[in-house]
Amino acid sequence: MYYDEAAGSSEEEVSDVETEYMQESKNESRDLKDRLLRKYSGYLSSLKKEFSKKKKKGKLPKEARQILLEWWTSHYKWPYPTEADKIALAESTGLDQKQINNWFINQRKRHWKPSESMQFTVMSSLSAPFYDDRR
C-alpha cells in the first residue's frame, strides 16, 4: 500500500510539473508574440493596407466603362488608342494604363470585326517586301 501511495504522489508531481511547464510555455509564447507585435506592428499594418488595396477582379466601375465605350464608338473603324489617348483615358477614368490596355484588347477580341478592305490593307502591308532605305 505504501508503494501505491508513492506511485500516486509521483504521478501527481509529474502532472503538476507538466502543467507548470505548459503554463510557462504559454507565457513565453505570449511574451514572444507581444514582442514581435511591438517590433513589427507598423510593418504588419502597412501590409494589411497593401493587401486591402488590391483591386478585386471583376467589372470596372460603370463610369469608367462608359467613358471607354464612348471612345470605342467614336473610333470603331480603328479602335487602337494612341499613347496620348491612353493617358487621357486613364486620367478621365481613374484606371491605370494596364487596365486601359486590357480593356481595349478584350473589347477588340469580343466586339470588333475589321472591314474587308481594312483586312486586305493590313494583310497586303504585312506581305509587302521589306526594303532597306539606308543604302
Which residues, including other chains, have CB under 8 Å from residue 96's CB and lie 6 or more apart?
A: 90
What span, in angstroms and rounded, lies between the C-alpha atoms of 84 and 47? 34
- State yes or no: pLDDT of 92 exceeds 80: yes
Give pTM, 2 decimals: 0.48
- State yes or no: pLDDT of 1 exceeds 60: no
Which residues, including other chains, have CB under 8 Å from residue 92's CB and lie 6 or more apart?
A: 67
Determine contact, residues 93/64, Cβ cutoff 8 Å: yes
Which residues, including other chains, have CB under 8 Å from residue 17's CB and lie 6 or more apart?
A: none
Average pLDDT of the residues in 30-56: 79
